[in-house]
Amino acid sequence: MAAEQENTYRVKKLFDENYAALLLYSISIVKNKEDSEDIVQRAFLSLWRKMDSLKLHTSARAYLYKSVYHAGLDLLKHKKIRGKYENEWRRGVPIEGVPDGEENQWSEKVNSAIQGLPEQCRRIFMMSRYDRLRYKDIAAKLHISEKTVENQIVKAFKLLRERLAEHFPVILLVLLFCYDKG
C-alpha cells in the first residue's frame, strides 16, 4: 500500500510539472482540447499502472511525451479526426472574453498577411493551417518533398511574423488567455 501511495505521489508530482505542456502538445497534434485531455490523462494513468513493473529506460517525462504523441497519431488515424474537425478549424478557435471587433481585426490582419505570401508558400501554409494536413500529405498532393513543405511553412511563418510585428503587443494581450472549449 505504501508503494502504491508513493507511486501516486510521484505521478501527481509529474502531473503538476508536465500536464499543461503535454496538453498543449496533444492539442498541437489532434487540434482539440477535449480529446487532448483524454489522451494526456490516459498517459498519466498508463504511467501510474506501470510504475512498479517498468524500469523506465528513459525519463518519465519522455515516456509521457511519447505516449501522447503516439496516442495523438493513433487518434488521427483511426477516428479520421482531421475531417471531423476541419470545419471547426476553418471557423477558428473561439476566443472567450474578447470583443468580436478585436478578434476580427486580428483575423483580418493575419488573413491579409497570408494573402501577401508568395503563391507556393501561401498554398502550402493554407493546406497546413486550414486543411490540417500533415507535411507528408501536403507533399504527396503537390508532388514535392516533405523537406520543401517544411521549408515553405517556415518561410511563411517568418514572413507573417515580420509583416505583423508591429501588431503583436496588442494582439498578444487579446490571445494570451484564449482557449478551445471543445
Partner 1 sequence: MIRDNDIEKLITKFFSGEALPEEAMALEDWVNHSPANRLVFNQYSTFFTMPIDISDIEKAGDWKKISDVIQEGKSGWWTKLNSWRLAGIAASIVVIVAVGLLARHSIKKEDGTIIYETGTATKQFVFRDRSEVTLLPNSFLTIDKGYGIHNRKMKLNGSAVFSVIHDPKQELIIDVGGFYIKDIGTKFTVVTAPTSDTISVAVAWGEISVYDDFGLSQRARAGEKVFYSKLRKRLLVLPARADSAGELVNPGPSGGKTEKMDRVKDKPSAPTAAGERRYGYPSTYPLDRGYTEPGKWESRVRDSTEMVRVVSDFLKDGLIAPGQPVSFTLSDTAFVLNGRKQSDRVFQRYRKKYVPAGKAGIGWVWSRSPDPL
> What is the distance between the terminal CA atoms of the chain, rounded to a whole angstrom?
38
DSSP conformational letter for 79: H
Contact between 168 and partner 1 by CB under 8 A: the answer reads yes
Q: By C-beta, is 31 or 119 nearer to partner 1?
A: 31
Per-residue x/- track, 100-139, partner 1 (CB under 8 A): ------x---x-----------------xx--x-xxxx-x
Task: Say whether residue 85 binds partner 1 (CB under 8 A).
Answer: no
171 binds partner 1 (CB under 8 A): yes
Kindly state the smallest distance separating residue 50's Cβ from partner 1, in Å.
Answer: 7
For partner 1, which residue of 89, 102, 105, 123 counts as binding (CB under 8 A)? 89
- CA atoms lying within 13 Å on the CB side of residue 3: 5
If binding is defined by CB under 8 A, does position 60 make contact with partner 1?
no
Please state, in angstroms and rounded to a whole number, the distance separating the CA atoms of residues 57 and 53. Answer: 12
Question: How many residues in the shown chain lie near partner 1 by CB under 8 A?
Answer: 87
- How far is 9 from 3, CA to CA, in rounded Å? 10
Shortest spacing between CB 3 and partner 1, in angstroms: 13
Q: Which three cell numbers stand for residue 35?
A: 480529446
Q: Using CB atoms within 10 A of its CB, is residue 122 exposed (0-12), middle (13-18) or buried (19+)?
A: middle
**Cβ proximity of 63 and 47 under 8 Å:** yes
- Any idea what the Cα angle at residue 122 is, between residues 78 and 119, rounded to 5°? 135
Applying CB under 8 A, among 10, 15, 102, 131 the residue interacting with partner 1 is 15
Decide: is 154 part of the binding site for partner 1 (CB under 8 A).
yes
Work out whether 27 is an interface residue with partner 1 (CB under 8 A).
yes
The CB density around residue 47, as the number of other CB atoms within 10 Å, is: 20
Q: State how far the Cα of 2 lies from the Cα of 126, in Å rounded to an integer.
A: 54
Min dist CB 100 to partner 1, Å, is 15
Report the site for partner 1 in 61-80 (rule: CB under 8 A).
Answer: 61-63, 65-72, 74-75, 77-79
